[in-house]
Structure 1
Amino acid sequence: MTPDRPDGARPRRVLVLGATGTIGRATVRALAARGHDVTCLIRRPAETGTVTRIVDLTDPVSVARDGLRGETFDVLVSCLASRTGLPDDAWAIDHRAQVNALHASRAAGVTHVVLLSAICVQKPLLAFQHAKLAFEAELIASGLDYTIVRPTAFFKSLSGQIERVRRGKPFLVFGDGTLTACKPISDDDLGRYLADCLDAEGRRNRVLPIGGPGEAITPRAQGERLFALLGREPRFRHVPVALLDGIVAVLSTLGRWVPSLAAKAELAKIGRYYATESMLVLDPATGRYDAQATPSTGSETLFDYYARVIRGEAAAERGDHAVF
């Protein structure tokens, strides 16, 4: 099979972090399709279709000894992310593990790092956002070439209500369903974008927000299209944002004495954030989200994906940060 990479571009030895997540798997597929020699550093045994090495990414000795093994590499591609977004998890994975991999890979000859970040770090109010930004800053200051990709919403985090609606229940929205908007991007479209960063000189040493194809869509528009695909009349249940505020306040107060409730308070804050903030480029001058300024890439829309799930051609894999 002819490698799917630009003419004249050479294959690279690539280290991949976060290869077992849905986006990581798509990125590994895209890198392999382009003829790159891929080695995945993973936390537990899993099939990636490439060379895998079990590593404790929070331990710099393990990263060097078990992961790089004294070999040389050209590029580090990181799709790594904390599973919960809770403070301890975020600083251990989104920051410390990334720093360990950065230092070890630089010593192994890596000259370019492609980092999957998140568009929500534009307005950091949560622990995982601050952890991601802290690593972005270290990467930029490292002296290596970098490409920081900040995607908008993922299909998996917007698919939790498909089965709910199938069972005849209403689609849940916060407020009137138009408080937020996003340009969702598929795993495969994002994986191809990340893989193409290895050969796209114009993406070097840049922070790149990216969304999927088409116009920005609101939660209400998501619900309306889902009902249409199922051939049903739209039914919505409106959840007041004030309810989330109350939950956060109560859990935060009780969490001062009960650690498990403090963790739930943080999760509630994450839910509130996604319920009230758009996943689009933020205009720092106006403080408003700008759909027109949010670049689009790829070919598959969220509604294409909904249709495939309904037909049984795809499984709705939900992310850890799914609101519903």
Structure 2
Amino acid sequence: MVDSREASSPSRRTILVTGATGTVGRHLVQQLTATGHRVRALSRRPAQANLPPEVDVVQGDLAVSSSLTHAFEGVSAVHLITFAGEDGASLMNGEAIVRLAERSGVRKATILGGWDETSIEHALQNSTIGWTRLEPVEFMANTLEWAPGIQQGNVVRTLATWPSAVVHEADIAAVAAVALTHDGHEGKRYPLSGPEALTPAERTAILAAAVGRPLTFEALTEDQERERLRAHGHPEDHVEFGIQLATNPPAQAACILPTIEQVTRRAARTFATWASEHASAFRA
């Protein structure tokens, strides 16, 4: 894999991070600032961003193209998410965002990809920007959905029982940081996984060790899973999508991939590491 490690001088470039307060974006901001890069963070609520003091936090909403002009001024690289902040819907204004990025001098971009390509990817395909798409299997942070059941009854209840090679959000950010600051990653699609494929029952056991008390995994029926998802306030189409995902896992879900180590030259973080870092979220 090509990786020249010839980054531009950190003092001469500004990197814009969208989704800067999210599970991946926050790690990316911290990693870039730790290595001396000038970082600008886009936030709809800058006063609540709680980012390092050296970060230039600017107000803007990716779904509102007219709010982004200042954010892109002087930027040479950008990390993009593809969904709106309010409801998580795919962005429809990719053409306007990418054209603004081009006019502002952006030459590199990373995209945190989802299930399908969006207007952002479509616009980048016809742009002068060199871009890299990050395709994580499943965030380890999805495990936080189990917190209420663990806090209230020391139990994890879900329909899915298949193994998933869940990936640490800091590793997704680390791949983005390399692609944004080093040559050789343009035009690449990077599927990302953790170092092991774990079933929900196996993750439950690892969490039990991290929180320091016994936890039980309970496999649900489809009807019970529907009740659980509805209780969380999910609309009916999301409920049925959840059922389909739990009963028909993606083919790549359990695939352990070497991409993170190849790109970052560091081993991918384990779920046990993530569980130790987030143990307090599962304690009552």
Q: Into which bin does the TM-score normalised by the smaller protein fall?
A: 0.7 to 0.9
Amino acid at match of 2:100: A
Do 2:16 and 2:71's aligned partners in 1 also have CA atoms closer than 8 Å?
no
Check if 1:52 corresponds to 2:54: no
The one-letter code sitting in structure 1 at the alignment partner of 2:19 is: G
Number of the residue aligned with 1:302 = 271
Give the distance between the partners of 1:305 and 1:32, measured in 2 at CA.
22
**1:161 and 1:171 in contact (8 A); partners too:** yes
Shift of 1:292: 4.2
Consecutive unaligned residues in structure 1, runs of 5 or more:
122-128, 252-260, 282-288, 317-324
1:287-317 Cα distance to aligned partner (Å, 9 max, x none): xx5614574544432222223433x4xx46x
Aligned pair in 2 of structure 1 residues 16, 98: CA closer, same or farther (>3 Å)? farther
TM-score normalised by the chain length of structure 2 = 0.78
SS of match in other structure, 2:83: coil
Deviation at 1:19, TM superposition (A): 0.8
Q: Map of 1:268-307 to 2, 5 A cutoff? A: 268-278=239-249, 281=252, 291-292=255-256, 295-297=259-261, 298-307=267-276
8 A Cα contact 2:24 2:173, kept in partner: yes
Distance 1:36 1:308, change over 3 A: closer
- Identify if the C-alpha distance between structure 1 residues 104 and 206 changes in structure 2 by more than 3 Å, giving closer, same or farther: same
Q: 1:244 to 1:295 in 2, by over 3 A?
A: same
Compared CA separation, residues 307 and 25, structure 1 to 2 (3 A) = closer
Point out where structure 2 has 5 or more consecutive residues left out of the alignment. 262-266
Q: Residues 202 and 232 of structure 1: is their aligned pair in 2 closer, same or farther, counting only changes over 3 Å?
A: same
**Structure 1 residue 36 corresponds to structure 2 residue 41:** no
Structure 1 contact 182–279 (Cα < 8 Å) conserved: no
Q: Give the TM-score normalised by structure 1.
A: 0.69
Letter aligned with residue 272 of structure 1: I
**How big is each residue's C-alpha offset from its partner over 1:154-185, in whole Å with a ceiling of 9 and x where there is no partner?**
2221133245335444321316x23xx32222
CA contact (8 A) 2:78 2:110 kept: yes
Does the C-alpha gap of structure 1 residues 134 and 67 become closer, same or farther in structure 2, counting only changes over 3 Å?
Answer: closer
Residues in 2 aligned to 1:247 and 1:306: alpha-carbon distance in whole angstroms? 23
Q: CA deviation at 1:80?
A: 5.3
Which of the residues 144, 157, 164 maps onto 1:172? 157
Deviation at 1:73?
2.1
Of 164, 169, 173, the match for 1:191 = 173
Counterpart residue type for residue 78 of structure 1: L
Range with bigger deviation, 144-153 or 34-43: 34-43
Question: Are the aligned partners of 1:153 and 1:183 in contact in 2 as well (CA < 8 Å)?
Answer: yes
Distance 1:264 1:202, change over 3 A: same
- Amino acid in the other structure paired with 2:51: T
> Is contact 2:63–2:91 with CA below 8 Å preserved after alignment?
no
Aligned to 1:10: 9
Aligned residues: 266
Q: 2:80 aligns with which of 78, 81, 84?
A: 78
